[in-house]
Amino acid sequence: MSTNYVATCKKPTVVTHSFAGNFTGEEDLNLILAKVTRIEINLIAADGLRFVQEIPIYGRILDLAILRVKGEKCDSIVIITDKLHMAVLSWRDGEVVTRAHGCLSDKVGRISETGIKCIVHSKTGLLAFRIYDGLLKIVEWDDKKELKAFNVRFEDLMIVDLVFLHTSDESIRLGYIYHDHIGRHLKTVELNMDEKEFRTISSQMSIEAEATKVVPIPQPYGGVAVVGHETVLYNNFGSSQPLVISPPVFHNAFISCVAPIDSDGQRFLMGGKQGELMILVFDVDASQKIITDIKVEVLGRCSFAECLCYIDNGVVYVGSRFGDSQLIRLNQEPNSSGSFVSILDTFANVGPIRDMVLLEQENGQTQLLTCSGAFKDGSLRIIRNGIGIEEKASVDFHGVKSIFSLSTKSGALDDHLIVSGIDGTHVLRIEGEELEEPEDGFGLETNERTLYASSMVDNCILQITPSGVHLIRPEAETLRWHSDHGEISVCAVNSRMGKVLVASGRHLHYLSVSTSGIDPINETQLEYEAACLDISSLDDSGDSKLVAIGLWTSNARRVLPRSCFLGRFDNTTYMLVALGDGTLFYFQVTHEGELVEGKKASLGTVPLTLKPFVSNRRNHVFVCSDRPAIIYSSNNKLIFSNVNVRVVNQMCPLNSEAYSDCMVMCDNETMVIGRVDDIEKLHIRTVPLGESPARLAYMASSQRIAVLVSREMNAGSMSVTSSAQRSSNSKLIHAGVASSSDNAPEVHSIVVLDANTFEVLHAHQLGPHEEALSILVTRLGNEPNDYLIVGTAFVNLDETESKLGRILVFSCADGDDRASMRLVHEKEVRGAVYSLAPLHGKLLASINSSVRLFEWKDDKELRLECSHFQYIQAMYIKSKGDIVLVGDLMRSMGLLSYKSVESSFEEVAKPDAQTHWMTAIEIFDADTCLGADSNFNIFTSERERNAQNAEDRQRLVESGVFYLGDAVNVFRNGSLITRHVDGGVVPRHSILFGTIDGSIGAVLSLEPEIYRFALDVEQAVANSHENVLRISLEAYRSYKGDKSSNKSFGFVDGDLVESLLDLPRERARKIVEDIRLPNQEEKLENNAENVLKLIEDLSRIH
């Protein structure tokens, strides 16, 4: 059995539903967002959105609606998941409560192909769920009784969309669009609650064939509006003739969502495929209570909207599946470009992730590059685990040994930098964005090195140099103190309380500094010379009650303590000690000053320097080294995050008028002023493409990226293909491949970008009807240079599968001609080239139902060496050594072994009997593989080497199944984290995955004893609290098939395990108090705390 741990690195970012309502209070206006497996509650405030709470959902949210129960002043939320669990959620006393829950699954029925939908009747609170074709499940709301559900049968099967209608009486009516062999039609029916059946009221036959949205119009006008791809229809079923318009702005717009603006239903917002934001207006005759005309106008552009929510005062939330979600304002007057839309805020969406690659950086960090978004919102996303620093200014400055910022005025803003070298000090005045060296140095000692400098009370400046302690007063004589035991070597200062600790030889002096004098408090002699000191305050009083001292106890400079920090992170006091070999030791400090629970982390290869700073009122420590990092606390655990700069020798915080909340960093050559990004685990940078990216490959040797993109011929938006420095084209090799009726609506291209600047170097456009499907960068034969290889297919809409394709081999030049990309060879093949992989200098290709191996000849041509035919459609291939993993469209996975001597493939493991509609595959090792299917499951399969008979030994069997709740598009071997902490948990394998909804996660193979421990924790957490759906973890994570469901095994839910760290510490201890550590035979003292520490280690491995 597999022993895997599944954890999310980034939660889904796609927004599928959005509503405004009074959820947390009758005076609160909330924005409620559905993000696949969670609901996000925000408070709408004058300064924007304020996050309130995230509600995890044990399932994939398919629909969400707002329910206002009669007599109540707050709204409730109704949700239904893809496993047909539903719940009604409300807010009470600052918490989310479940008012009702249940499973709506029937034993018989076909799930509707047009999607599951939930609607609410505003007058009666009746809940209706369209789940199965031809049926509507009705749930009568009664807060005092158990909810009862019953089915009502439609006359029509294929319901496209349906709504409850606004009526002037107590009748319950629905309007819906349905589809049959003739076309699409509109119908209204009335629900008889006693007979539990529908009665047809009216119908309108043969409306627009692409009508997709039906919108109820409130009374006194009533009726419905139907929105299609080309028309808007209004019908009030009898009192007036239907109105139909075909707005010119609908051309190629593809209306994706409709949202009301006014409660009277006279204005609606509509979102289009190319980001068009339109307004739909109904002109009315108020005296006759009829709608007289329909108008549609374009307001401007935004992201491709999956959902729209008009909030208030012209503010609209745009939730997107294919681009970033946005908060926008509708202005009364257009801007210079004619748009009425202005963007207030943007919320990053990484989905859908079509492909991704890992990029290794020079500083040892790893970045993830993804193909994200689609259409005009298509982009590359650079995702890294660490903290980014945005450079604001830089200046050449050699030999900097220490740097300090200070203010010479009464204000809080810094206006000077003190830069110290080996034998002198420079004073730099900050004038706006410029740095100037003043003629006077404020009385500072500039002829020797500065060990410390800061501002003190009454505009005084404290400077510590090897010769002594100096307090420069603006209108009085400078105060000085000198040690009787020689030069000062190291010092520490509590500037808030005016306390100074200096070491001179083996003597330690404790001083009090004020405008009236520098007074010795105490003195002691150490056994060894001090190597580093710290007297930071540990509480709100500001007093220093403990001192940290690192001693010079050895002649081995690399193992000496070079810097130390004593301070609080959240509610825990830590002692950090940095050594000369790049190692950091950190300890918790008890109230008695005892160091406990020591751990070690590797943060570089050179001596470390620790520089504390405050961000958002929380303590942080910047680690200066050849691999700089920032240390901070999250959920009561220390986090080590890399910084996107190469080498930092010295650092100090800076808060000036021009450089607010910045820091100054120095290496041996340059001084840089930069601003730190938000302290988050993952940071995302966007490279807009303006086209839909599908696949990408990284050319490490030449630092270039190749991307397969596509665009619509008439899209009219910015295109990455058109911005390339150079371009080339392919000619259609078989003109007859395309149907004469097909106008080739899409154009596919291969685009090459610089991996550092993301400048577009070259674009190669394919011919009409040719689609780029796969891409690979590899070496062929014995040649030293990489080739860029692309697999294509010629698409004929009259054929069920492609019969022709090509393999294109490109050579990308280096040096001055980096923008050049030359087609070296093209190989025509009989089918679509779905996937490519390298194999010992040869090329593997999955082509329709076969796997083929091509050899690269000396004349730079591909020659077919061998093939394997056993598949319905070979969609994916991966290789490792001689092993080839093949993912079939619906027959799971199979393993092949390449026999080089015989030039043939041997099938070493056939797919198992379980049907999986595959979406991604990856190889763990020679016997184990990982797969994902279209039912949002992931699973592992293994070869049964110890089986009794040969047939069983040649079959892959499932060794683990797990319902993820998100569709995986791509797996990649590797990890986003840089391992700092020594010891702890080390996974045997790490595989990252990217999903259609923008989630990034990791599947980690653990040692069996760690896996069993994590399994025990998972069960303990699941048993300790109820989820809002009131279902078991087993029901949530069980494998979801087309017609069956199996219990999950071989996987641990890492998100659930690590949720323990978000709980109050005492409650977390209580949950795990009976859990034993791996290989622990009996319960030990302080067992719960040790368990929590191991869970912290698990959270650091992804």
All residues at 6 or more sequence positions from 1062 whose CB lies less than 8 Å from its CB, including other chains: 635
Residue labelled with tokens 């700089």: 628
What are the φ and ψ backbone dihedral angles of 1013, each rounded to 5 degrees?
-60, -50
Which of 612, 641, 668 finishes a domain? Answer: 612
Please give the Cα distance from 686 to 382 (Å, whole number): 6
Looking at the DSSP bridge assignments, the partners of residue 355 are 371
Angle, in degrees to the nearest 10, between helices 1008-1024 and 1087-1099: 110
Residue 644 CA to residue 385 CA, distance in Å, equals 10
Per-residue pLDDT at 741 exceeds 50: no
Residue 508 and residue 526: Cα distance in Å, rounded? 7
**Could you read off the pLDDT of 991-1018 as tens digits, one per residue?**
999 999 999 999 999 999 999 999 999 9
Mean pLDDT of the chain: 87
Backbone angles phi, psi at 873, to 5 degrees: -160, 110
Measured distance CA(394)–CA(429) in Å, rounded = 15
pLDDT digits (tens, 9 = 90+) for 62-97: 999 999 888 889 999 999 999 999 999 999 988 999
Per the CB < 8 A criterion, the answer to whether 59 and 84 are in contact is: no
State mean pLDDT over 509-525.
Answer: 89
- The pair of three-digit structure tokens given for residue 54, joined into one six-digit string: 């995230």
- Kindly state the average pLDDT of the residues 315-337: 92
Phi and psi at residue 722, in whole multiples of 5°? -75, -15
Structural domain count of the chain: 3
In a domain, 134, yes or no: no
Q: Write the pLDDT tens digit of every residue in 634-688.
A: 767 788 888 878 888 899 998 888 888 888 999 878 888 888 876 666 778 899 9
Q: What are the residues whose beta carbons fall under 8 Å from the beta carbon of 746, sequence distance 6 or more?
A: 710, 711, 712, 713, 771
Q: What local confidence, expressed as pLDDT, does residue 168 receive?
A: 84
State mean pLDDT over 335-352. Answer: 91
Residue 804 DSSP code: B
Residues 608 and 753 in one domain: no
Is residue 407 within 8 Å of 455, Cβ to Cβ? yes
In a domain, 489, yes or no: yes
Specify the 3-state DSSP secondary structure of 594. coil
Question: Tell me, what's the pLDDT at 151?
Answer: 92
Query: Amino acid identity of 193?
Result: M
Q: pLDDT tens digit string along 362-376?
A: 656 788 999 999 999
DSSP-based three-state secondary structure for 1036: helix
Residue 535 located in a structural domain? yes
Q: DSSP assignment, residue 1065?
A: H
Structure-token pair, residue 210: 């692409």
Residue 982 has pLDDT above 60, yes or no: no
Rounded to whole angstroms, how far apart are CA atoms 144 and 646? 64
**For residue 338, pLDDT beyond 60:** yes
What integer is the mean pLDDT of 548-560?
Answer: 72
Q: Which of 869, 888, 921 is the last residue of a domain?
A: 869
Other Cβ atoms less than 10 A from the Cβ of 142: the count is 12
Which residues are CB-contacts of 194 (< 8 A; sequence separation ≥ 6)? none
| Per-residue pLDDT at 708 exceeds 90 | yes
Answer whether residue 764 shows pLDDT above 50.
yes
Q: For residues 277-285, give the mean pLDDT.
A: 91
Shared domain check, 608 and 754: no
Banded model confidence at residue 744, pLDDT cuts 50, 70, 90:
low
Q: Lowest mean pLDDT: which of 202-206, 533-537, 591-595?
A: 591-595
- Say whether the peptide bond before residue 352 is cis (omega within 30 degrees of 0): yes
Inter-residue contact 152 to 138 (CB < 8 Å): yes
Closest listed residue to residue 312, CA positions, set 49, 61, 131: 49
Contacts of 1069 (CB under 8 A, 6+ apart): 1088, 1089, 1092
Residue 196, token pair as written in the block: 């539990």
CA distances from 593 to 542, 547, 548, 575, 588 (A): 17, 9, 10, 10, 9
Quick one: pLDDT at residue 132? 92
Pairing of strands 490-494, 883-888: unpaired
In a domain, 254, yes or no: no
What percentage of the chain carries pLDDT values higher than 90? Answer: 41
Spatial distance between the Cα atoms of 148 and 165, rounded to a whole number of angstroms: 23
Task: Identify whether the C-beta of residue 213 lies closer than 8 Å to the C-beta of residue 227.
Answer: yes
**Pair (602, 459) in one structural domain:** yes
Backbone angles phi, psi at 793, to 5 degrees: -145, 140
Residue 461 is assigned to a structural domain of this protein: yes
Phi, psi angle pair for 766, to nearest 5°: -80, 165
Confidence check: pLDDT of 137 > 90: yes
Residues 6+ away with beta carbon under 8 Å from 557: 580
12 contacts 28 by C-beta, under 8 angstroms: no
Structure tokens at 44: 């709408």
Assign residue 586 the CATH number of its domain: 2.130.10.10
Alpha-carbon distance 898 to 841, whole Å? 13
C-alpha distances in Å from residue 545, one per residue of 143, 371, 401, 452: 58, 53, 29, 21
Q: Identify the domain containing residue 754 by its residue range.
A: 746-869
The model's pTM is: 0.84
Helix H or strand E encompassing 670: strand 670-676
Smallest CA-to-CA distance from 777 within 357, 383, 362 is with 357
Phi and psi dihedrals of 412, rounded to 5? -85, -15
State which H helix or E strand residue 1070 sits in.
helix 1065-1072
Query: Where is the domain boundary, 612, 634, 650?
Result: 612
921 within some domain: no
Between CA 988 and CA 380 the distance in angstroms is 30
* Same domain assignment for residues 437 and 580: yes
Residue 304: what pLDDT?
92
CATH of the domain at 1074: 1.10.150.910
CA distance 527 to 533: 15
pLDDT at 740: 41
CB atoms closer than 10 angstroms to residue 486: 12
For residue 558, the model assigns a pLDDT of: 55
Tokens of 651: 């650092």
The type of residue at 1095 is I
Q: What is the mean pLDDT of residues 41-48?
A: 88
pLDDT band at 227 (very low <50, low <70, confident <90, very high): very high
Q: What's the Rg (C-alpha) of the chain?
A: 33
Q: What is the mean pLDDT of residues 777-792?
A: 90
Judged against a pLDDT cut of 60, whether residue 734 lies above it is answered with no
Please compute the mean of the pLDDT values over residues 829-835 and round it to a whole number: 94
Q: Is residue 775 part of a domain?
A: yes
270 within a domain of the structure (yes/no): no
| pLDDT greater at residue 714 or residue 598 | 598
- Between the alpha carbon of residue 193 and those of residues 197, 199, 373, 437, 974, the distances in Å are 7, 11, 45, 86, 58
Higher pLDDT, 246 or 955: 246
**Residue 386 confidence class, pLDDT cut points 50, 70, 90:** confident
Residue 830 reports pLDDT greater than 80: yes
